Amino acid sequence: MDELDDAARGWVGLPKFDRDYLGQRVKGTLIRARRRYLVETFGEQMLGAVAQAAPPDAARILTDVPLAFEWGPMQRMIGLDIAIIRVAFSGDAARMQHLGAEIAGYDLPLTYRALMKAGSPSFVARRMGSVYQRYFREGNVRAVASDKGATMRFGGASQPLFMCRYGMAGWMQRAIRLSGGRNCQIEHTECRHDGHAECIWRCDWE
């Protein structure tokens, strides 16, 4: 990764994971969702502002948008996300949780209609691993769920701090809500950036 300033380093997390991001791939639907979110939330003018703040290869994907099923470098998406946090979110990385939730709202009712229609919240929680692998080529999510809660564990790869602490948490929480879970609360209880062996989220609902 390019050298990061202090603010970006705080959003991305521990430098020791930077090399892990280089070989990872993400699905084009994640890039398309970010572009849609910026336009719908802030207006077309925000695309230009974010592009100016992003590295050139990350800025290009806002205009030369990849196909939804196309795999591309995760490092490029990280560069775009840093620019989104810096410009659109005014440096508040916690707002990535709302972005993650909106991506779930875009995808799940359409692409995963059968899963959402057939499943209870616990049914959906147990299948988050298979859905994760439709977005990210590397890594895995494992879930243990009961009628009113689930514990999700992530391993096998690395994610930036803003993604595991906020983006993934927002996606998981919205997925549970869309499948019927009420008063859903999620907590990122353990994180690799805090020295733990893997990332763990606890989600509870009514």
Please check whether residue 110 lies inside any domain of the structure: no
Q: How many CB atoms lie within 10 A of CB 191?
A: 19
Domain CATH number, residue 166: 3.90.1520.10
Domain end marker among 29, 62, 95: 95
pLDDT of residue 41: 97
pLDDT of residue 26: 98
Please check whether residue 101 lies inside any domain of the structure: no
Q: How many domains does the chain have?
A: 2
Looking at the predicted structure, is the pLDDT value of residue 152 above 70?
yes
Residues 130 and 199 in one domain: yes
| Cα–Cα distance, 51 to 83 (Å, whole number) | 7
CB distance 84 to 99 below 8 Å: yes
Strand partners, 185: 204
* pLDDT per residue as tens digits for the range 162-190: 999 999 999 999 999 999 999 999 999 99
Q: Amino acid identity, residue 68?
A: A
* Size of the chain in residues: 206
Compute the average pLDDT of residues 99-115.
84
Please check whether residue 107 lies inside any domain of the structure: no
pLDDT range class, residue 44, cuts 50, 70, 90:
very high
The mean predicted confidence, pLDDT, of the chain is: 94
pTM above 0.85, yes or no: yes
- Is pLDDT larger for residue 14 or for residue 127? 14
Looking at the predicted structure, is the pLDDT value of residue 117 above 90?
no
pLDDT of residue 112: 66
Which residues constitute the domain of residue 91? Answer: 10-95
Helix crossing, 74-83 with 28-42: angle to 10°? 10
CB distance 155 to 196 below 8 Å: no
